[in-house]
Amino acid sequence: MPGIFFVGYLLSIAVFQTTFNRYLNIDQLFPDILFVLTVYAGLEWGKTKGLKWGIFIGLLQDSISYGYLGMQTFVNALTGFSCGFLREHFVYESTAVRWTLVLIFSLLNGLIFYGLTRAVLQVDLSPGFLNRFLVQLFLNVLVTTPVMAFTTFLRQKVDSRNKIGYQKHETFRLER
């Protein structure tokens, strides 16, 4: 999938996620689709591109959120790189693996957020944080399969169009 297309796709997901979150939520919680796409990038393109896309997605989330600047960038970069590393060394593609990775890295995301909030900012989180956090984990895992399947479908469409265009161009050059 060409980089410019994926950037446009990420921006449209960001707009969707920020615009429709008031309609698609459970107790003011909604799935973090951009985080799921960070896991996807690491699994599809390896650790280097996973890191790059993680940084880009994290900066995008930091710029449109009301949270602490840099926290999403750090977590998404770590997630993209780690998923890419696992892809290159251990992981085989399956739905269960994707669910597990989204669950593990969503858990890591929450723990880093909780730890940094308490240690660096010295802010205590609400007592209901754990319950809300568990719902967030469930929502992220719930959207993993449809989001990754749709992204793979789009990627295949874009890749096939690029190959056809390249073949036509090569055919034209050979006829001259």
Go through the domains of the chain in sequence order and give each one's CATH number: 3-175 (1.10.1760.20)
The predicted model scores a pTM of 0.81
Lowest mean pLDDT: which of 74-78, 85-89, 102-106, 158-162? 158-162
pLDDT of res. 28: 74
Band of residue 71 on the pLDDT scale cut at 50, 70, 90: confident
Q: How far apart are CA 145 and CA 24, in angstroms?
A: 17
Closest CA to 60 of 14, 114, 106: 14
How many CB atoms neighbour CB 156 within 10 A?
Answer: 11
For 105-151, the pLDDT digits (tens) are: 998 888 887 787 777 777 776 677 777 888 888 888 998 999 999 99
